[in-house]
Amino acid sequence: MNKVDLNTITNQYTQSTKNFKSSVVVCAGTGCIANGSMDIYNKFLSLSNEKGYKITVALKREEGGESLLKHSGCQGFCQMGPLVTINPEGIFYTHVKVEDVEEIIEKTLKKGEIIDRLLFENQEKGKIAHQNEIPFYAQQQRTTLKLCGMMDAEDIEEYISHNGYKMAETAVLQMNSQQLCDEISQSGLRGRGGGGFPTGFKWNLARKQESDKKYIICNGDEGDPGAFMDRCLMEGNPHSVLEGMIIAGLAIGADEGYIYVRTEYPLAVKRLRKAVKAANELGFLGDQIFGSDKSFQINVFEGAGAFVCGEETALIASIEGRRGMPMPKPPYPAQKGLYGKPTIINNVETLSSIPVILVMGTAQYASLGTAKSSGTKTFALTGHVANTGLIEVPFGTTLRQIITEIGGGVINDDGTNAGADFKAVQIGGPSGGCLIQDHMDMPLDYDNLIEVGAMVGSGGLVVMNHQTCMVQIAKFFMQFTQNESCGKCVVCREGTKQLLNLLDDIIEGRATMETLDLIEELAKTVQIGSLCGLGKTAPNPVISTLEHFRDEYIEHIVNKRCPTGQCSALRSFKIDQALCKKCSLCMRKCPVGAISGSREEGYVIDQNKCIKCGACVEACKFKAINCA
Amino acid sequence: MTNVLNNQFNQVCEILNKHDNNHYKLIPILQEIQEIYQYLPEEIMTYISTALGISPSQIYGVATFYSHFTLEPKGKHIIKVCDGTACHVKKSGKILETIKTELNLSNKKPNSDDGLFTLETVACLGACGLAPVVVVDETVYGSVTPEKMTTLINSIREMESETLIPEEVNHE
């Protein structure tokens, strides 16, 4: 294959776009699509002809026109979607509706006027017109995510124009495998998938193996509930993942790679397949890549719905067409992996960071973050915060910065702002633990988190307010791991089930103080006796909530009372006669007829009949029913 | 009817050919076959086992291990309720309850009586910013409330009862 010159493509791209006055970037991440961003995209196109103002789709830019229309990957600020950005000015519109499109064309595109109504607004600064001035973005440092949400994810030429595939080319033509491993070791990059194993070191292990065939696998089986960083990368910048894989392949001497994507991410699968096709056409993948004598293939493999397949050996079993059950290590996949050949498995974010690191320079990347955790990390910020979405910050950022400055503060169940006053932050999903107010100013990095019994994990940050019951949260995670346990190890299969039963005992008021001892003993057993990470970390949420919220557990057990009122079996309802307007609504709403009385004498709840469903509380307009 | 069956079976053979009857490709093969039938019929699994030269129990093992595969025909519309952490803390449980009551379903009975709906819970759909999230077929709905869910189910029912009429006309 003839070698494609990257500079020529970049020049072509610049030439073909320079006559456009502006570009309109419609966010087409899963979140914004759910809010109707594709309708907005289509509206721009359909109005283009009517309004006598030509808007051209990015991939047909040769046709010329006045504005260029792109659909990008996730821009991160999902809460405010659908998002529309007008470049080069960087005007950032939030909550855009189909009806607004006409006005955007008439005012912003034609005349350069800003439509105030669509701008982001906060109490301190009022209306903010540009993306980089919004606190949610201003406090972040986006390196891996930088291009995500800015460029058209399906446009390989636009990726190339941002130095894309340049590092892969340099690696193929000018570097040997040892140099590559050394570079990445120097950058201090650690695996972003959870464990934080140094990437360069891992590559070196596979590089030294002698074998006729080696594989590189990109682990896109992002299964942690509350985490969606990898989805955004695969959807928003699939080419960076491919480029990272090409470089990783060279570094270990592999000529074939697999991307394992979970089936719940159909858009990611589609965009990755498209990206692989485009890269093949330009000779970045296939035989004689970049005009060299090397070859590299990438296959996109769609998972079939099993959380445990995020574990390396289970993932390999799954690609080989078997049940995704983990195997004992050693042998490590770096020695004997896919089809018995040396295999390296890297997380999506890790691979996507590779080209970014090489473009930036390893020394500069290593200067970001903390001494032992260099670089930046993406987090999925969700739960009870004002601004939910995808964020990227350097390691060493504190929870306070993330929650108050980027997240805009904690919110109560009714949506009111509670400032920085959260109850707990769950980090690292079902393998992680809870952080509490004491950890507010601790710099977040791999080692600090391990020290307090949590872990970076894949990077889900779920903020919980004071109305959240921690026993319920522990039960939630236990339910998750119990469902997802593959069943191979007895202590994991049965132990998680028993832990779940014990937690149910607490929630439903059957527990005694001995239950707590039993939980702790069993939790340790499951940790010790399980083969893979899923089982070893399954009890973490219970252990961590027990450590930080032991009083809350005891309150459930001794006083049979849930402090947050979330455990329905422990609730008791009472009508406050002073507030009651005797409207009889609660009596009519009660499904079991536990409320009796009359409009003259007022109403009472029969505690023996009450099933504690809470229907009366929801029905009462005067907040006269107390739940304790 | 026989034509439909023949056609489906031919497609199965094509899929097996495409993957060179390679048992390593079992998962993509099953995925593609499920696309055709909407579930994995027992006799087809037996056939695959002969074609790939592996035991039927191995195929059954894989088919039951992964939650994406189903051995029973599903309803026409799949409702997936996300019960990931973010959705859970934003009360996805109430939405689940609403659907179960509305369609008369339980944990052991995921398919509605009219054959229109199948209820599934998924661990995380990765749309946590919009929690709680429900996906009906391919469409993602964010910030769902029990009321919105009921309206959604009713609108699908309405749509289905409307489309039923022209189909009946066709039969005549």
- Tell the CATH topology of A470-558: de novo design (two linked rop proteins) (1.20.1440)
pLDDT given at position B1: 60
**Is the Cβ–Cβ distance between A117 and A125 less than 8 Å?**
no
- Best B29, B64, B128 member to test A by mutation, with max A CBs in 10 Å, is B128
User: For chain B, which residues lie within 8 Å of any Cβ of chain A, measuring from their own Cβ?
Assistant: 23-28, 30-31, 58, 61-62, 65-69, 83-90, 122-131, 133, 138-142
Domains, in order of start, for chain B: 2-65 (1.10.10), 77-171 (3.40.30.10)
CATH architecture of the domain A376-464 equals: Roll (3.10)
* C-alpha to C-alpha distances, A379 to A219, A230, A259, A408, A479, nearest whole angstrom: 17, 10, 21, 15, 24
Considering only the beta carbons, identify the residue of B26, B28, B140 that sits closest to A34: B140
CATH 1.10.760.10 fits A6-134, yes or no: no
In angstroms, what is the C-alpha Rg of chain B? 19
**A444-455 in b/e burial notation, b at 16+ Cβ within 10 A?**
bbbebbeebebb
Mean pLDDT is lowest, of A82-86, A156-160, A308-312, A413-417, for: A413-417
Of A227, A324, A390, the CB nearest to B65: A324
Chain B CB within 8 Å of residue A160 CB: no
Q: Which of B89, B97, B138 to mutate to test the interface with A (most CBs of A within 10 A)?
A: B89
CA closest to A317 among chain B residues: B24
Domain A571-627: CATH class, spelled out: alpha beta
Give the pLDDT confidence score for residue B171 in this predicted structure. 41
Task: State both tokens at A524.
Answer: 């340790």
CB within 8 Å: B89 and A468: yes
Query: Which of B89, B130, B138 faces A384 most closely, judged by CB atoms?
Result: B89
Q: For B44-96, write each residue's pLDDT tens digit.
A: 999 999 999 999 999 999 999 998 899 988 888 989 998 887 788 888 888 99
- The pLDDT score that the predictor gives to residue B168 is 41
Chain A nearest C-alpha distance from B3 (Å): 30
Predicted confidence at residue A2, as pLDDT, reads: 60
Residues of B in contact with A81 (CB under 8 A): 129-130
Contact B126 A389 (CB under 8 A): no
**8 Å CB contact of A324 and B130:** no
Q: Give A-chain residues touching B69 at CB under 8 angstroms.
A: 304-305
Q: Nearest CB to A306: which of B66, B122, B133?
A: B66
Sort strands B139-141 and B117-122 into parallel, antiparallel or unpaired: unpaired
Any chain B CB within 8 A of the CB of A370?
no
Domain ranges of chain A: 6-134, 156-364, 376-464, 470-558, 571-627
d(CA B26, CA B13): 14
Of B58, B83, B129, the CB nearest to A382: B129
A154: which residues sit within 8 A by CB, 6+ positions away? Answer: A59, A71, A271, A274, A275, A278
pLDDT at residue number B57: 95
Average pLDDT, chain A: 91
pLDDT in tens, A542-576: 999 999 999 999 999 999 889 988 888 888 888 98
pLDDT band at A465 (very low <50, low <70, confident <90, very high): very high
Q: What is the pLDDT of residue A432?
A: 87
pLDDT tens-digit profile of A95-120? 999 999 999 999 999 888 999 999 99
- Report pLDDT digits (tens) over A582-617: 999 999 888 888 999 998 888 999 888 888 778 888
Neighbours of A110 (CB within 10 A): 16
pLDDT of residue B164 exceeding 60, the answer is: no
- Domain A156-364 CATH class label: alpha beta
- pLDDT, one tens digit per residue, over A222-274 is 888 778 889 889 999 999 999 999 999 999 999 999 999 998 888 899 999 99
Give pLDDT, residue B65: 95
Question: What residues in B contact A35, CB-CB < 8 Å?
Answer: 130, 142
Contact B129 A303 (CB under 8 A): no
**Quick one: pLDDT at residue A454?**
86
State whether B130 and A78 contact (CB < 8 Å): yes
Please give the C-alpha separations between residue A601 and each of A206, A210, A592, A622, in angstroms, as whole numbers.
80, 88, 21, 17
Task: Determine the pLDDT at residue B167.
Answer: 43
